[in-house]
C-alpha cells in the first residue's frame, strides 16, 4: 500500500494542509513542535474510532502507543492498520481493558470512540490518568454524567474536544462568517432541525452464544446486560435506549450544537418533546421512530423533528437545520448551505469541501465519510492548538455537555409527557422531583456512577 503517512513537515508542504493550518492560525491558533510524537491512545477501535485516529495521524506526528477494544478481531485489525499509517510503523500495544491501558502508559491524548453508554466513565478515567481527550458525542448517557465529565475536565485542567465537528466544517464556517456574523439574517426567531434518515435498526435476531473473541460483559459495562443476540457493533446497539439516547442523542445533538454555535445560544429555558414508536413496532428496538422537540429561548424556538420512515420534508436537506430571520433564511447540512434573502438581494451558497486530491488515502479507507474528513482534521488541529496554547477548543466539553444534556432532557420530556426546565447550577429539574431523579441512571454493579463520586 502507498505510504501516505504525513509527518508535520511533509504535512505543511501540501497545499491543502497549508490552507488548513493557515485558516486556523488566522483565528489565533498557533502550533509548535512540542506536541509532535504526542503519546496517543484509542479506546474503541471500531469504525469511527479508527476514522478519528486516522485523521489525527494525517495531520500530526503522533505516536499511537496503545489501543483498546473488547473485540479481539477489531483490536488486531486496528493494530495492523495503525502500524501501516503511523510514521514509526510500530504496532501499538493492544488491550481489552481500558483501565489497564491507562495504567500502563502515560498518555498525552486519548480518543474515545466507544458506544455512548461508556463515554462518561472512560472520559473521566482518562483525564484522571493525565490525558487530554477527543471525545465522541454524546458526552454522556444521562445529564449528571455530563456534569461529572465537565467537572473532571476543569479539575484536572484537561482539554476536551467533543466530536461535534460541524463547528469545524469548512462550508459551515463560511456560512457563519458570511451570513451570521454579518447580520444578513436580521432578527432570528425560529429554527427548524430535522433528520429523516431510515437509520433505525428494528430486527428480531435470535439469541446466540457470545463468541470467544468478544468480552460481552465488558462491552456492556455499566449498562443493563441484554441477552446476547449478535454482535452489537455498527448500528445495532444504537437501536436500544440502554446504550444510547436514540436518534435525538445521535443526530439532533449535531444539528442543535451547530445552531447553538452559529447563534451563540446557551442552555434552553425550557425543553418539551413528544413522540414514540408510532410506525415500526415489529422489532426489538426501543428508540423512537418519530419525535418532535422544542428547545425554547427568549423569542426563539428551536424545533427538532425526526422520522425513520416516509419521505423527508425536503429531499435536498434530509438532515439539516434551517434558521429563519426577518431578512433571510439560512439552510445548512453536512453537504452544503444556502442563504436566501427576503426580497431583493444576493443568494449565497457553498458546497462541502472534500480534499480528495490532498489526502488521496481517504479514497481507499473502508466506510470513510469523505464529507466529514476535512472537518475532523480541522477539529483535531483545533484541539492540538488548544492543548499547546492552554485555551478551550471550539467544541469544549461545556458546549458538548449543553448540547448532549438538552437532547437527553428532550427524551425525558417525551417519557414524562411534560416540559422540563433544567437548572445547571442546582443540577435539578425545577419543581419536578421525578424528572430530577431521572437525571442519573442506575449503573450495573460493580461500576459506579461518576457524579458525586
Tell me, yes or no, whether 119 and 48 share the same domain.
yes
Instruction: Specify if 379 maps to a domain.
Output: yes
> pLDDT at residue 235 above 80?
yes
Residue 159 near residue 393 (C-beta atoms within 8 A): yes
CATH number of the domain that residue 13 is part of: 3.40.50.720
Q: What is the mean pLDDT of residues 218-233?
A: 97
| Rounded percentage of the chain residues whose pLDDT exceeds 70 | 92
Q: Report pTM.
A: 0.93
Least confident of 38-42, 129-133, 234-238, 320-324: 234-238
User: What is the DSSP-derived secondary structure letter of residue 6?
Assistant: -
SS3 408: helix
Q: What is the pLDDT of residues 305-325, one digit of tens each?
A: 999 999 999 999 999 999 999
Tell me, yes or no, whether 75 and 185 share the same domain.
no
Tell me, yes or no, whether 373 and 432 share the same domain.
no
Q: What is the mean pLDDT of residues 222-251?
A: 96
C-alpha cell at 433: 422531583
Which residue is it, cell 494525517? 58
* Three-class secondary structure assignment of 271-291: EEEEEECCCCCCCCCCCCCEE
Instruction: Specify if 29 maps to a domain.
Output: yes
Cα separation of 276 and 352, whole Å?
33
Phi first, then psi, for residue 282 (nearest 5°) are: -85, -15
Q: Which residue has the higher pLDDT, 32 or 377?
A: 377
> pLDDT at residue 31 above 50?
no
Instruction: Specify if 1 maps to a domain.
Output: no
Domain range for 67: 8-167+357-396
> pLDDT at residue 401 above 80?
yes
Instruction: Specify if 88 maps to a domain.
Output: yes
If pLDDT is split at 50, 70 and 90, which confidence band does 439 have? very high
> pLDDT at residue 17 above 60?
no
Q: What is the pLDDT of residues 273-314, one digit of tens each?
A: 999 999 999 999 999 999 999 999 999 999 999 999 999 999
C-alpha cell at 376: 475532523
- How deeply is 258 buried, as exposed, middle or buried, from its count of CB atoms within 10 A (0-12, 13-18, 19+)? buried
Q: Which residue has the higher pLDDT, 14 or 215?
A: 215
Q: What is the pLDDT of residues 405-417, one digit of tens each?
A: 999 999 999 999 9
- By DSSP bridging, strand 63-68 and strand 39-43 are parallel
Phi first, then psi, for residue 401 (nearest 5°) are: -70, -45
> pLDDT at residue 14 above 60?
no
Cα separation of 449 and 334, whole Å?
35
pLDDT the model gives residue 452: 82
Instruction: Specify if 175 maps to a domain.
Output: yes
Tell me, yes or no, whether 293 and 361 share the same domain.
no
| HSE, side-chain direction, 13 A CA sphere, residue 138 | 33
Q: What is the pLDDT of residues 346-396, one digit of tens each?
A: 999 999 999 999 999 999 999 999 999 999 999 999 999 999 999 999 999
Instruction: Specify if 381 maps to a domain.
Output: yes
Instruction: Specify if 212 maps to a domain.
Output: no
Tell me, yes or no, whether 309 and 184 share the same domain.
yes
Angle of the 143-156 helix axis to the 119-128 helix axis, nearest 10? 10
CATH number of the domain that residue 302 is part of: 3.30.360.10
Q: What is the mean pLDDT of residues 195-203?
A: 96
Handedness of CA 362, 35, 90, 41 (dihedral sign): negative
Tell me, yes or no, whether 347 and 366 share the same domain.
no
> pLDDT at residue 93 above 90?
yes
Tell me, yes or no, whether 192 and 250 share the same domain.
yes
328 forms beta bridges with 341
Residue whose C-alpha is closest to residue 130's, from 96, 159, 100:
159
**Per the structure, how many domains does the chain have?**
2
pLDDT the model gives residue 417: 98
pLDDT the model gives residue 36: 65
Tell me, yes or no, whether 86 and 130 share the same domain.
yes
Tell me, yes or no, whether 294 and 333 share the same domain.
yes
- By DSSP bridging, strand 188-195 and strand 422-423 are unpaired
Phi first, then psi, for residue 39 (nearest 5°) are: -80, 115
pLDDT the model gives residue 10: 43
pLDDT the model gives residue 234: 84
Residue whose C-alpha is closest to residue 158's, from 129, 119, 116:
129
The DSSP-derived string for 171-211 is HHHHHIIIIITTTTT-SEEEEEEEE---------PPP-PPP
pLDDT the model gives residue 341: 98
Tell me, yes or no, whether 117 and 141 share the same domain.
yes
Residue 164 near residue 137 (C-beta atoms within 8 A): yes
pLDDT the model gives residue 37: 79
Tell me, yes or no, whether 251 and 282 share the same domain.
yes
Instruction: Specify if 140 maps to a domain.
Output: yes
If pLDDT is split at 50, 70 and 90, which confidence band does 24 have? very low
> pLDDT at residue 4 above 50?
no
Residue 381 near residue 26 (C-beta atoms within 8 A): no
- How much is the mean pLDDT over the chain? 93
Phi first, then psi, for residue 293 (nearest 5°) are: -140, 145
Cα separation of 288 and 275, whole Å?
7
pLDDT the model gives residue 35: 55
**How many CB atoms neighbour CB 334 within 10 A?**
19
Tell me, yes or no, whether 361 and 317 share the same domain.
no
| Rounded percentage of the chain residues whose pLDDT exceeds 90 | 90
Amino acid at each position: 500500500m502507498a505510504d501516505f503517512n504525513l509527518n508535520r513537515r511533509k504535512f505543511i508542504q501540501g497545499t491543502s494542509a497549508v490552507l488548513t493550518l493557515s485558516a486556523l492560525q488566522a483565528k489565533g491558533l498557533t502550533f509548535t513542535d512540542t506536541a509532535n510524537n504526542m503519546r496517543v491512545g484509542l479506546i474503541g477501535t471500531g469504525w469511527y474510532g479508527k476514522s478519528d485516529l486516522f485523521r489525527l495521524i494525517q495531520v500530526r506526528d503522533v505516536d499511537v502507543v496503545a489501543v483498546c477494544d473488547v473485540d479481539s478481531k477489531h483490536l488486531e485489525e486496528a493494530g495492523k492498520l495503525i502500524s501501516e499509517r503511523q510514521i514509526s510503523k510500530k504496532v501499538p500495544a493492544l488491550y481489552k481493558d481500558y483501565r489497564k491501558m491507562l495504567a500502563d502508559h502515560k498518555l498525552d491524548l486519548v480518543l474515545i470512540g466507544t458506544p455512548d453508554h461508556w463515554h462518561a466513565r472512560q472520559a473521566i478515567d482518562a483525564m484522571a490518568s493525565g490525558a487530554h481527550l477527543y471525545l465522541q458525542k454524546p458526552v454522556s448517557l444521562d445529564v449528571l454524567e455530563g456534569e461529572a465529565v465537565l467537572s473532571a475536565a476543569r479539575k484536572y485542567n484537561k482539554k476536551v474536544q467533543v466530536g461535534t465537528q460541524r463547528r469545524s466544517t469548512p462550508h459551515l464556517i463560511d456560512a457563519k462568517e458570511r451570513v451570521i456574523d454579518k447580520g444578513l439574517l436580521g432578527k432570528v426567531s425560529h429554527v427548524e432541525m430535522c433528520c429523516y434518515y431510515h437509520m433505525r435498526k428494528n430486527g428480531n435476531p435470535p439469541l446466540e452464544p457470545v463468541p470467544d473473541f468478544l468480552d460481552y460483559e465488558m462491552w456492556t459495562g455499566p449498562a443493563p446486560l441484554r441477552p446476547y443476540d449478535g454482535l452489537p457493533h455498527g448500528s445495532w446497539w444504537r437501536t436500544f435506549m440502554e446504550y444510547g439516547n436514540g436518534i435525538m442523542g445521535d443526530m439532533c445533538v449535531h444539528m442543535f450544537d451547530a445552531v447553538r454555535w452559529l447563534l451563540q445560544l446557551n442552555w434552553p429555558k425550557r425543553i418539551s418533546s413528544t413522540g414514540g414508536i408510532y410506525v415500526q413496532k415489529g422489532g426489538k428496538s426501543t428508540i423512537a421512530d418519530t419525535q418532535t422537540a422544542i428547545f425554547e429561548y427568549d423569542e426563539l424556538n428551536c424545533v427538532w423533528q425526526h422520522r425513520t420512515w416516509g419521505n423527508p420534508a425536503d429531499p435536498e436537506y434530509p438532515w439539516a437545520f434551517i434558521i429563519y430571520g426577518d431578512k433571510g433564511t439560512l439552510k445548512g447540512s453536512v453537504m452544503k448551505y444556502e442563504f436566501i434573502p427576503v426580497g431583493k438581494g444576493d443568494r449565497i451558497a457553498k458546497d462541502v469541501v472534500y480534499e480528495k486530491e490532498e489526502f488521496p488515502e481517504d479514497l481507499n479507507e473502508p466506510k470513510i465519510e469523505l464529507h466529514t474528513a476535512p472537518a475532523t482534521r480541522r477539529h483535531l488541529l483545533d484541539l492540538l492548538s488548544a492543548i499547546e496554547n492552554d485555551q478551550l477548543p471550539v467544541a469544549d466539553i461545556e458546549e458538548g455537555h449543553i448540547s448532549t444534556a438538552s437532547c437527553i432532557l428532550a427524551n425525558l420530556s417525551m417519557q414524562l409527557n411534560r416540559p422540563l426546565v433544567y437548572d445547571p447550577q442546582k443540577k435539578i429539574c425545577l419543581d419536578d422531583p421525578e424528572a430530577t431523579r431521572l437525571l442519573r441512571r442506575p449503573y450495573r454493579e460493580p461500576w459506579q456512577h461518576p457524579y458525586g463520586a
